[in-house]
Structure 1
């Protein structure tokens, strides 16, 4: 019995809320009709009408949320667009919006059926207590009281009739109210649910916004990368090449008068040339690691694991042909994750797993460290997210305090 009390009380509370909102709807309907009736009289009702319909729609959306929550239905929120400026544009937008007409349809339905459903809620809440009270005081009331339609003239009629009413209203509370509340909540949710076309349009808008944000971040990251390369070439390689040219020029002038000095300068120039080549290779490695072209992604991952400061195990499945940009992104994701694990996690081992599922490349790096990885603390995860998002991929990080830390990325790899 106790298991039935909770659903009964939950349903009764929902029906009482329905009764209150339905009573409010009964008062809102004449107001809307009044505004519409003022339109022929010089258009006086046009000015407040868009705002009133917008508020009605927001109210209906809250009601749909409550109905979906009660009936345990999936609720997809649709943020109403703000009203445009100008009365004509507001009217055109409001009257063309399907959500407006769904809200009006719900208002009419709710004001009629909601009151009836609410009355059942009142009956479920107060019926049984009222029957108990009536049974106890029937003899002291100056007017005859009836039980189940039968007038009470003695304790026998009162007790039997009172017990029958208690059972009836108790059944309404335990069984009738939950059934009615669930059905009415589903009706409200169905009445106010956006169409599939609207949901597809919303998903498309969200996708466009997401891609626009990703594109902006990719362009920003690309610009930062170009500035870094320019700075590295200017401050490092270019400076060494300039010094190399100066030494060679001086050596040319000294070769006849001081051959030993010229030879020393040429030896220094040779060392500077080697250093410049090393720095140039480092710059090239940060843009597209040559090892990817030489050994492929699998070989590059094995090399990264071998150089890792902590023991790293790798599992690379058959990947097929991958675009160069995807290989580079996966390589840098694994390199950054291994660096993070070695520097910050206090881990004793790390596992790298790379697999392909159709047009998706999956990369997972898991360590047995202390966890607590956080983008805001400069752990490199934010850079991983941006690099993956630039290719329209996704990144998830699971790193509870105490560990372990698992970084998963998915990269589209269609050619």
Structure 2
């Protein structure tokens, strides 16, 4: 590591420790208020995010609670959040006070070195082990020595102390392996039930479309052909009537084929089979009512189920952009890292998108979660809106 990068890490670690000191003191002063589960959760999330950013790589996930009502903030995470309060008060004050004493004593040392003569004899600085500065000899010796020692201490210890505090934070707040597994099972159980319900509803819709549309037209066609055959048998010279029956049968056949293609298209878009995911997304973005930039990396081969989910999710997201966002530009970025396919849809619209309002975003989330994927929606009021989807697609 270069010297410049090392000093940048020292400064960042020092800032982290000083903020931890303030946080520890605030925890002690506001302890009764922070014992409220919702506030404890928010307080813990903030510390978890700080620790994760300092270490650079998330050590463990911390999924947000999904339950509604009174139990929205109950469960294992609440216990960890409340446990973090005394741990933060102790570690934050201990580590932060050490950093504060180190940084705070650098200033007296600098003052003692240059301005010792400006103080009254009884008030002169005592920079090093409480030794008074009585002349230039002690000022130019003790002051720089204290600066060098404290700077060396900060250089060597601040990054280590900050990492230790961050690891303690993540050890307390991050879910254990068993908790993560239980949470994953709960998510899969819920999404499986949602998928089964959606599957049943989709089958009923397809059956209804075929029964009310395609089947009715096929029955009409069969009746016309039966009449035509009877006419041909009884009066083969009635060509005009036969021509009308055959024309009606031909038109009915084309209409039935059109309806049948429409039903098939809702199951698996033909464009995916014809042009693949890249071509399908290119067509979707080209048809969007808002100018949309498409960026697709090397995604290799993607399972058909994942392709269909990505296609429908991007199509629905861009439809929302056109109808509701008031955006002037949008973008779709698709990339792959190992066995994870990432899809990011952004727009510069007014924001405020919320899948809890029953919009198409709920459908996007349901499709992605059904394949054990994740969806994150960042849409503050005023925009921009970013929808991030990740799906497992095999290595």
TM-score by length of 2: 0.57
Distance 1:291 1:72, change over 3 A: farther
5+ long unaligned stretches in structure 1: 18-59, 74-185
> Which residue of structure 2 aligns with residue 378 of structure 1?
358
> Which residue of structure 2 aligns with residue 393 of structure 1?
373
> Which residue of structure 2 aligns with residue 70 of structure 1?
89
> C-alpha distance in 1, partners of 2:298/2:318?
22
Cα deviation for residue 320 of structure 1 reads 0.4
Matches within 5 A, 1:190-209: 199-209=176-186
Among candidates 323, 328, 339, match of residue 343 of structure 1: 323
Structure ID, larger Rg: 1
Number of aligned pairs? 250
Cα deviation for residue 237 of structure 1 reads 1.1
Per-residue CA distance 1:371-413 (angstroms, 9 max, x = gap): 2212243320000000000000011111122222211110100
> Which residue of structure 2 aligns with residue 229 of structure 1?
206
SS at match of 2:250: helix
Larger mean Cα displacement after TM superposition, 401-410 or 378-387: 401-410
Per-residue CA distance 1:323-349 (angstroms, 9 max, x = gap): 100001000011111111111112222
> C-alpha distance in 1, partners of 2:81/2:345?
43
> C-alpha distance in 1, partners of 2:189/2:325?
34
5+ long unaligned stretches in structure 2: 1-17, 33-78, 93-163
Per-residue CA distance 1:126-175 (angstroms, 9 max, x = gap): xxxxxxxxxxxxxxxxxxxxxxxxxxxxxxxxxxxxxxxxxxxxxxxxxx
Matches within 5 A, 1:140-289: 199-255=176-232, 256=236, 258-289=238-269
Distance 1:217 1:271, change over 3 A: same
SS at match of 1:340: helix
Distance 1:316 1:13, change over 3 A: closer
Deviation >6 Å, runs of 4+: 6-9, 60-63
> C-alpha distance in 2, partners of 1:8/1:276?
69
SS at match of 2:344: strand
Cα deviation for residue 216 of structure 1 reads 1.2
SS at match of 2:301: coil
> C-alpha distance in 2, partners of 1:380/1:228?
18
Per-residue CA distance 1:237-289 (angstroms, 9 max, x = gap): 11111111112112222232632122112111111111111111111111111
Among candidates 302, 308, 316, match of residue 288 of structure 2: 308
> C-alpha distance in 2, partners of 1:277/1:12?
69
What is the alpha-carbon root mean square deviation over aligned residues? 3.2
SS at match of 2:219: helix
> C-alpha distance in 1, partners of 2:27/2:247?
94
Cα deviation for residue 13 of structure 1 reads 5.7
Cα deviation for residue 222 of structure 1 reads 1.4
> Which residue of structure 2 aligns with residue 55 of structure 1?
none
Distance 1:316 1:237, change over 3 A: same
Cα deviation for residue 9 of structure 1 reads 10
Kept in 1: contact 2:346–2:384 (CA 8 A): yes
> C-alpha distance in 2, partners of 1:356/1:225?
30
SS at match of 2:334: strand
> Which residue of structure 2 aligns with residue 114 of structure 1?
none
TM-score by length of 1: 0.54
SS at match of 1:400: coil
> C-alpha distance in 2, partners of 1:61/1:402?
34
SS at match of 1:396: strand
Kept in 1: contact 2:27–2:89 (CA 8 A): no
> C-alpha distance in 2, partners of 1:327/1:354?
12
